[in-house]
Amino acid sequence: MLKIGLTGGIGSGKSQVATLLEEWGATVVDTDLVAHQLCQTEGLAIAAIAEQFGPEFITAEHGMDRQRMREHVFANPAERQRLEALLHPLIGEEARRQVMAASGLYVVVVVPLLIERGSWRNRVDRICVVDCDEATQKQRVRERSGLTDEVIERIMGAQATREQRLAVADDVIVNDGTTSLHELSRQAEQLHQQWLQQR
Ligand code: ADP
C-alpha cells in the first residue's frame, strides 16, 4: 500500500488536507489523534502513566488528567521529556498498527514532526509538505486556539523551518495567506490523482 507522510508546521493546513484526502478514499492515520487516543479512558498509555507519574494523574474514568499533566509539564521541561519518552514509542507502535490495518486507496500518515524526529521518514514512500508563511501560520493558530503569540512562537521555534521541510519534500502543497480553500482543494485533488497512479 502506498504510504504518504503528510507534514507541515503548526497551522499550515495539514488537518484540512487530510480531511479532503480521507473524503476521497484515503485512510488517514493522524499521530496527534493517536497520542490523544492513548491517553483517553482505558487508553494504552494509562497504565504506564499511572506507574511512572503516579495515580494522581489518572482521572476517575481511567484517562489521563490532561489539565493536571499540562500544568505539571509546563513548569518542568524534564518531566515533559519523560512524558514524551513514554508516549513516543507507544504512538509509533499504534500508528504503525493502524497503517498496517488500512483499507483505503492509500494511507496518509499525518506527522507534525516528521522532519524533526525522522522515525517516519524511512517508513513512508513519499513526503508531502504543506507549505505556509510564518505570519499566516501564526494568524491561523491564534484564531483557532487563542494561544498567545509567545506560546505560538515557542512551538514554531521547536519545529523545522520552511526551507528544511521543502528540502525533503517529494510533493508540496502551497497553503499560504493568499491560498483559498478552493485552491487548496484543487492542489490536493491533483496530488490525489497522481498518487492513485503510483499505487
Ligand atoms: P494544521 O493541522 O497544520 O495545524 P489546520 O488544517 O488545522 O492546520 O489549519 C489551521 C486553521 O487554519 C484551521 O482553522 C483551518 O480551517 C484554517 N485554514 C487552513 N487553510 C486555510 C485556507 N487556505 N483558508 C482559510 N483557512 C484555512
Any residues with CB less than 8 A from the CB of 180 and at least 6 apart, and which? none
pLDDT in tens, 110-160: 999 999 888 899 999 999 999 999 999 999 999 999 889 998 999 999 899
Is residue 114 within 8 A of residue 5, CB to CB? The reply is: yes
Q: Which three cell numbers stand for residue 5?
A: 507522510
10 lines ligand 1 (CB under 6 A): yes
Q: Which three cell numbers stand for residue 164?
A: 528544511
Q: What is the pLDDT of residue 39?
A: 97
Q: Which three cell numbers stand for residue 190?
A: 491533483
CA distances from 99 to 31, 39, 85, 115, 193 (A): 11, 20, 22, 19, 21
184 lines ligand 1 (CB under 6 A): yes
Is residue 64 within 8 A of residue 57, CB to CB? The reply is: yes
Alpha helices (H) in 4-110, listed in sequence order = 14-23, 31-38, 46-53, 66-74, 77-100
Q: What is the pLDDT of residue 159?
A: 93
Place of cell 506560546: 151
Taken in order of first residue, the domains within the chain and their CATH numbers are 1-26+105-199 (3.40.50.300), 35-103 (no CATH)
Dist. CA 130–CA 120, nearest whole Å: 17
CA distances from 185 to 15, 50, 81, 171 (A): 12, 43, 37, 15
Q: What is the pLDDT of residue 146?
A: 85
137 lines ligand 1 (CB under 6 A): no
pLDDT in tens, 65-119: 999 999 999 889 999 999 999 999 999 999 999 999 999 999 999 999 999 888 8
Q: Which three cell numbers stand for residue 108?
A: 496518509
Q: Compute the average pLDDT of residues 40-63.
A: 96
pLDDT in tens, 21-36: 999 999 999 999 999 9
Is residue 8 within 8 A of residue 162, CB to CB? The reply is: no
Dist. CA 93–CA 86, nearest whole Å: 12
Residue to probe by mutation, ligand 1, list 6, 7, 10, 16, most atoms within 8 Å of CB: 16
15 lines ligand 1 (CB under 6 A): yes
Q: What is the pLDDT of residue 117?
A: 84
112 lines ligand 1 (CB under 6 A): no
Q: What is the pLDDT of residue 56?
A: 96
pLDDT in tens, 156-183: 998 999 999 999 999 999 999 999 999 9
Distance of CA 137 from the midpoint of ligand 1 (Å)? 8
Percent of the chain with pLDDT over 90: 92
